[in-house]
Amino acid sequence: MQARNRKRRWLITAAVGAVVLALGLVLFKPWLLFVDVRVDEQLPTAVASASSAEASAAVKTPSASASPAAPVQLAEGSLISHEHATTGTVRIIQQPGGKRVLTLENLDTSNGPDVHVWLSAVDVVEGTAGWFTAGSAEHFDLGMIKGNQGNQVYAIPDGVDLARYKSVDLWCVQFSVSFGAAQLAK
């Protein structure tokens, strides 16, 4: 009888362990840490930053009269690491015709589940203290990250007032943590 109870406890423990393992794999997707997705989109080349008055006008909703003849860099920043080692350069560029894009250049970070590119209203905080700051601030989601390495371009909708946003954050929505962030400088 004792041997049968021991076997039953062992089977129940094994079944519970298998369920916990399966749930952990589904939630955490640990294999993504070992898989790189490289994206190499064509980046716009921008002329030197616009003058302060032009940049200030262009940061708000673009208009036909404020449209540059060539791509103009409105802001840039360097990515710093938060939860995951992250490097690269972020630029906001206004295209001829008024369209604005955010570029991630030479991005290198960990792959992860549900990582998004956010324009964030808070300043970047270095170290572990900065891992969660973007999650409690106003933000605009430009969509899921296209890959964890390379060069990427994200369209910024016309109605987005860039003057409201101080930084760019690579935010893991599933775990509410920043992979990395860049303070924007005009």
The pLDDT value recorded for residue 11 is: 80
**DSSP code at position 33:** G
Residue 73 has pLDDT above 70, yes or no: yes
User: What residues form DSSP beta bridges with 182?
Assistant: 168
Work out the number of other CB atoms within 10 angstroms of the CB of residue 3: 7
Q: Taking the C-alpha atoms of 89, 166, 164 and 59 in order, what is their torsion angle to the nearest 10 degrees? A: -40
At a CB cut-off of 8 Å and minimum separation 6, what does 29 contact? 112, 113
Residue 163 has pLDDT above 80, yes or no: yes
Residue 22 has pLDDT above 80, yes or no: no
Chain segment 130-143, per-residue pLDDT in tens: 999 999 899 999 99
Could you give the CA distance from residue 181 to residue 126 in angstroms, rounded to a whole number?
Answer: 9
Residue 144 has pLDDT above 80, yes or no: yes
Average pLDDT over residues 1-21: 79
Strand order in the sheet with 167-172: 80-81, 177-183, 167-172, 115-120, 139-144
Contact 6, 118 (CB under 8 A): no
Residue 121 has pLDDT above 90, yes or no: yes
Model confidence pTM above 0.85: no
Higher pLDDT, 45 or 66: 45
Please give the mean pLDDT across all residues of the chain.
86
Chain segment 28-64, per-residue pLDDT in tens: 666 566 788 899 999 998 876 655 444 445 455 555 4
The pLDDT value recorded for residue 95 is: 95
Could you give the CA distance from residue 2 to residue 9 in angstroms, rounded to a whole number?
Answer: 10
Residue 26 has pLDDT above 50, yes or no: yes
Q: Identify the sign of the CA torsion 91, 92, 95, 99.
A: positive
